Amino acid sequence: MAPLCLIKKEGVEMGLFIQQIVNGIALGSIYALIALGYTMVYGIIRLINFAHGDIYMLGAFVGYFALTTYKLPFGVSLALAMLIPALLGMLIERVAYRPLRKAPSIAVLITAIGVSLLIENLAMLWFSPDPRPFPQIFPLRPLELSGIRVSIPQVIVFITAVILMMALNFLVQKTKVGKAMRAVSQDKEAASLMGIDINRIISLTFALGSALAGAAGVMVGVIYPRIQPLMGVMPGLKAFVAAVLGGIGSIPGAMLGGLIMGLTESLVTALISSTWRDAIAFSLLIVILLVKPTGILGKSMREKV
């Protein structure tokens, strides 16, 4: 995913710096949406769901077909791009992960990688590997705010992401499903003895995480209008880094981690060079694992005996 192309000038002006912060926030809110899925699934069944980046890709394609083939309005397309990945996420959990609920975690992890490869290759088969232009629904004309140019797509992406994250927070903190999710993530057996259907809660967690990833897929189409079947690989990995950075299992951590990743990428591109972008983004993972393995907002977890 290339941040908005900016021609590098000699020396970096203040305006450019702030401009890159704006770009970073837009990109970061997309990472945050994807990272939430990683962190929620990890929180509840201790699995790094490597197929999550591909769910995001599918969201982009659902949005693409809804907007172009079916000519649906943006809101409906976005809703579909959340709904269909949500159902797919539940299906994947049901057929691929649930039978392995009692298997060693490495078996589930390898299965997740397998699912990821399966989705990528099916997508190449069905959608063809060629990139497609994502329809431009919002005017590209930038808004000028005292010298800083904010494009309308960026504003839309940021606002949508914030609304979705607020909705998620409400769901997790205030509703019975959210409370059940938190209970299951702490003690599955005790939760089931409080009358909670664990399988249903795990299923819903996948649905929620996948819906957010699907939304992120549409968001990315709005800012960087090119989609293709392997587009989920890099952002998937980076969102994973973001989730670890913020503290895997922590929902605010995923949001923060996503923003940090987005900002780092934009600023590295502007201040150093875009060739260093990914190297520095992934170095962050190494640094955080060395300095604070639980992540910025993560709690140290005692191994349960």
Partner 1 sequence: MSETNLLEAKCVTMNFGGLTAVANLSFELKKGELVGLIGPNGAGKTTVFNMLTGVYSPSFGTIHLEDELISKLPPYRITQKGIARTFQNIRLFNQLSVTDNVRIAFHTRKLYPIYNSIFLTPNFFKQERAIADDTKALLSLLHLEERAEDKACNLSYGQMRRLEIARALATGPKVLLLDEPAAGMNPQETEELTALIALIREKFDLTILLIEHDMTLVMKLCERIMVLDYGIQIASGTPLEIRQNKRVIEAYLGEEV
Direct distance between the N- and C-terminal alpha carbons of the chain, in angstroms, rounded to an integer: 43
- Tokens 């509840």 sit on residue: 44
Contact between 145 and 82 under an 8 Å Cβ cutoff? The reply is no
Give me the least distance between CB of 186 and partner 1, in Å please.
5
CB nearer partner 1, residue 128 or residue 175: 175
Q: Give the C-alpha separation, 253 to 227, whole Å.
A: 28
Site string for partner 1, 24-43 (x = CB under 8 A): --------------------
Contact between 3 and 266 under an 8 Å Cβ cutoff? The reply is yes
Contact between 297 and 256 under an 8 Å Cβ cutoff? The reply is yes
For partner 1, how many residues bind (rule: CB under 8 A)?
A: 23
Give me the least distance between CB of 190 and partner 1, in Å please.
4
- Tokens 């499903």 sit on residue: 177
CB nearer partner 1, residue 9 or residue 302: 302
Contact between 6 and 270 under an 8 Å Cβ cutoff? The reply is yes
DSSP 93: I
CB nearer partner 1, residue 191 or residue 216: 191
Question: What is the 3-state composition of the chain as percent helix, strand, coil, each rounded to the nearest 5?
Answer: 70, 5, 25
Q: Give the C-alpha separation, 122 to 129, whole Å.
A: 10
CB nearer partner 1, residue 8 or residue 299: 299
Strand partners for 148: 145
The alpha carbons of the chain give a radius of gyration, in whole angstroms, of: 19
CB nearer partner 1, residue 146 or residue 300: 300
Contact range with partner 1 by CB under 8 A, out of 80-88, 104-112, 147-155, 174-182: 174-182
Site string for partner 1, 199-238 (x = CB under 8 A): -----x----------------------------------
The yes or no reply on residue 171 touching partner 1 (CB under 8 A) is yes
Give me the least distance between CB of 177 and partner 1, in Å please.
6
**Neighbour-count burial for 172-210, b at 16+ CB within 10 Å, e otherwise:** beeeeebebbebbbeebeebeeeebebeebbbbbbbbbb
The H or E element containing residue 144 is strand 142-145
Residues 96-115 that bind partner 1 (CB under 8 A): none
Residues 175-204 that bind partner 1 (CB under 8 A): 175-177, 179-180, 182-183, 186-187, 189-198, 204
Give me the least distance between CB of 133 and partner 1, in Å please.
33
Give me the least distance between CB of 301 and partner 1, in Å please.
10
The yes or no reply on residue 174 touching partner 1 (CB under 8 A) is yes
CB nearer partner 1, residue 191 or residue 288: 191
CB nearer partner 1, residue 3 or residue 246: 246
Q: Give the C-alpha separation, 232 to 122, whole Å.
A: 13
Residues that bind partner 1 (CB under 8 A): 171, 174-177, 179-180, 182-183, 186-187, 189-198, 204, 299
